[in-house]
Amino acid sequence: MDILFIADPLSRFKIYKDTTYAMMAEAARRGHTLYTCEPRHLAWTGGAVEASAQRFEMVGDMADSHRETWFMPQEAAPRALTSFGAVLMRKDPPFDMEYVTSTWLLELAERAGARVFNKPQAIRDHSEKLAIGEFPQFVAPTLVTRDPARLRAFHAEHGDVILKPLDGMGGMGVFRVKPDGMNLGSIVEMLSHDGARTVMAQKFIPEIKDGDKRILLIGGEPVPYSLARIPQGSEVRGNLAAGGLGVAQPLTPRDREIADTLAPVLAARGLLLVGLDAIGDWLTEVNVTSPTCFREIMDQTGFDVAAMFIDALEHAIG
C-alpha cells in the first residue's frame, strides 16, 4: 500500500526518538511504499485535493538509530490524496489556523474517498486540553476561563495550582503558583492577555514527582505500558521537550480504567492513535494531533508499539 505521511521535514527527524520514524520503519519493513509531504504542499485544485508528494526509501542499518542518512528521497510530484492507501496526519503542533486549514483540506479529500488518520474532523473537534471535560470523573479540580477574577478565586480556593494556555505544547507556558500567590497577577495577565484569551487552571497534583504519564491508545486498545515523564531538578514540567526523564512502566489499574473508558469512544470517532496524559490518578490531556513516545516504550520494554500501530492501520484500511 502507498502511505503518505504529512509531517515536518524528514531532515529534522531525530530518529532515535521520533514516533513518526518508528511508524515509517515498520511500514517499510512490511513492504509498504512511503511518501511524505508537509501541510504547505497540500492544494485543492477545484476538483481534488492533491499533495506534492515525495516518495522515499529507508536506507542504512535499521538497527542504527543515530545514523545521519536514513532516507533516500525521489523527486516530488502532484498526486491526489485519494490515490494513497492511507494518509497519516503527523504534523507537530502548534494547532494554529494553518493546522485547522489542513484539516479542512483533508476533510475534502476524505469526502472524495481518501483514507485519513486521524480523522480530520476528530482532530479539529478535540481540543487537547479541553477534551478532558467530556470525562469529568477522571479530572482533578479544573477551571477554564478568560476571567482573571475567576482564575484568582480558583487559586484562593485550591492554594497550589497549575496555569497553562489552551494551545500550548511541550510544556510551553505552564506555570505553578503556590499558596503564597507569588506572581499570580502577572501570570494571569500574561496567559490571558489581560482577559482576551482563555486559560486552564488545575489543582496541583503532587504525584507529578512520579511523572506525567503518556498512555497510548491504538485502534481502540491501550498499549500495556505508559511512559512516565519525570520532572528533573526544580522543574515542575515532565514533558520530554522540557527536559523530563522518560521511564516506561506497566499501566496501573487506574491508568487502565481511564484507557478502557476512553478508548472505544475515541476510536469510534476516527481517532486511530491517541495519547492520554495522566498524573497520578487524574486525566490531564487528550492528545490527538501527533502523539509520541513510541520509541521510548519500545526501547525500554521491547513491546513493539509501531507494529501494533501498523496492525491497526492495516485493519482500518481492510
Residue 48 has pLDDT above 80, yes or no: yes
| Mean pLDDT (the chain, rounded) | 95
Cα 123 to the center of its chain, rounded Å: 10
Provide the annotated active-site residues.
129, 164, 214, 229, 237, 277, 285, 287
Instruction: Give whole-number Cα distances, 43 to 47, 73, 120, 142, in Å.
Output: 10, 21, 16, 40
pLDDT in tens, 99-129: 999 999 999 999 999 999 999 999 999 999 9
- Give the SS3 label for residue 143: strand
The set of cell numbers assigned to 10 is 524528514
Cα 45 to Cα 221: distance, rounded to the nearest angstrom: 38
Contact 100, 289 (CB under 8 A): no
pLDDT in tens, 62-75: 989 999 999 999 99
Q: What is the mean pLDDT of residues 288-312?
A: 97
Q: Note the residue count of the chain.
A: 318
Between strands 49-58 and 77-80, the pairing is antiparallel
Confidence class of residue 238 from pLDDT cuts 50, 70 and 90?
Answer: low
Burial of 200 (0-12, 13-18, 19+ CB in 10 A): buried
Long-range contacts of 182-187 (CB under 8 A, 24+ apart): 184/152, 184/155, 185/152, 187/163
Contact 138, 283 (CB under 8 A): yes
**Domains of the chain listed by start with CATH number:** 2-124 (3.40.50.20), 141-204 (3.30.1490.20), 207-317 (3.30.470.20)
Residue 242: the pLDDT is 64
Instruction: Give whole-number Cα distances, 54 to 3, 4, 135, 209, in Å.
Output: 11, 9, 40, 43
pLDDT in tens, 172-203: 889 999 999 999 999 999 999 989 999 999 99
Handedness of CA 2, 8, 64, 72 (dihedral sign): positive
pTM of the model: 0.94
